[in-house]
Amino acid sequence: MLLNEGKDSFLEEEVSFDNSKYVILPIPLDITTSYLKGTKFGPRSIIEASRSLENYDSELDYEVKDKIFTLNELNLSGDIREAMEVINLSVSDILSSGKIPIIIGGEHTATYGASLSFDDSVEFIIFDAHADFKKDYLGLVINHASNSRLVNARHNISLIGVRSLNLEEKEEIGKRGIDIIYRNDISDVSSVDKLLKKLSGKNVYISVDMDVFDPAIAPGVGTPQPDGIQYRDFLDYIKKIINVSNLVGLDIMEVRPLGADNITEVLAAKLIIDMVSLKESKVNSNRS
Ligand SMILES: [Mn+2]
């Protein structure tokens, strides 16, 4: 088993691995990053930022406690293919222990590695400014700009918040009939309804590239894009998605710490608390 027990935990949770329901897997992947390097420091910074946040959600009246175990960072010393294999093995270990993986990164390519661990019936919902549907990029087939396309080799995907792609990517996405909600249509009711209908009752994995958000609220990313979505836009989506489906895994990727300005990693940590709270308060209300 490649898993190590972690000392520095998310939200300062003290729960043991066996008693936890969610397992944070920090993946400091920074191999194919093309524009701004530094995503390898993302996982550590998200865990540090979580310690500045409260674990109680007043909107849901739910407290995250004794739920989340934090693993040590994965050691990724090989090339990108080896990294995918290590990630796949680690996520598979978490799943076979009956836990829900929460992956924090690190470049977005880690989502592809994680996707290999899931049954191909799992739907992947990818929030990203970029379509990431390139056939290859800078000579590499496995790279961050091809992540969505790679995941789509095994899984149905839906792309949300996209505002950066080329014509070839757009045509390939159209050819494959992939559901894509562009940033301009983020509030379009019929698009959202269609998505929810598709996800109803399904096992769902949510992947968040932090560059889907506006750079004003998430400046610390590898490839920033102007005119991103707001935190409330995201909350509206995940409330609806988690409500109709069964969340089996999630990731928060592409955090690139800026040093003194830590608002990106605080937002990243908050998203994890939000998604766990939404899933758990749903479980609780189903029981009562
Ligand atoms: Mn992106």
CA of 100 relative to ligand 1 center, distance in Å: 24
Q: Is 130 annotated among the ligand-binding residues?
A: yes
CA of 25 relative to ligand 1 center, distance in Å: 20
The residues that bridge with 71 in the sheet, in sequence order, are 5
Q: Is 132 annotated among the ligand-binding residues?
A: yes
Band (pLDDT 50/70/90 cuts) for residue 22 is very high
Place of tokens 């149905």: 156
Band (pLDDT 50/70/90 cuts) for residue 6 is low
CA of 245 relative to ligand 1 center, distance in Å: 24
Q: Is 93 annotated among the ligand-binding residues?
A: no
Range 208-231 average pLDDT: 97
Q: How high is the mean pLDDT of the chain?
A: 94
CA of 128 relative to ligand 1 center, distance in Å: 5
CA of 18 relative to ligand 1 center, distance in Å: 34
CA of 62 relative to ligand 1 center, distance in Å: 31
Band (pLDDT 50/70/90 cuts) for residue 7 is low
Range 67-81 average pLDDT: 93
pLDDT tens profile 251-284: 999 999 998 899 999 999 999 999 999 999 987 7
CA of 248 relative to ligand 1 center, distance in Å: 22
CA of 211 relative to ligand 1 center, distance in Å: 5
CA of 130 relative to ligand 1 center, distance in Å: 4
Q: Is 261 annotated among the ligand-binding residues?
A: no
CA of 71 relative to ligand 1 center, distance in Å: 25
User: Looking at the predicted structure, is the pLDDT value of residue 288 above 60?
Assistant: no
The residues that bridge with 101 in the sheet, in sequence order, are 23
Domains of the chain: 10-287 (3.40.800.10)
pLDDT tens profile 155-169: 999 999 999 999 999
Q: Is 211 annotated among the ligand-binding residues?
A: yes
Band (pLDDT 50/70/90 cuts) for residue 1 is very low
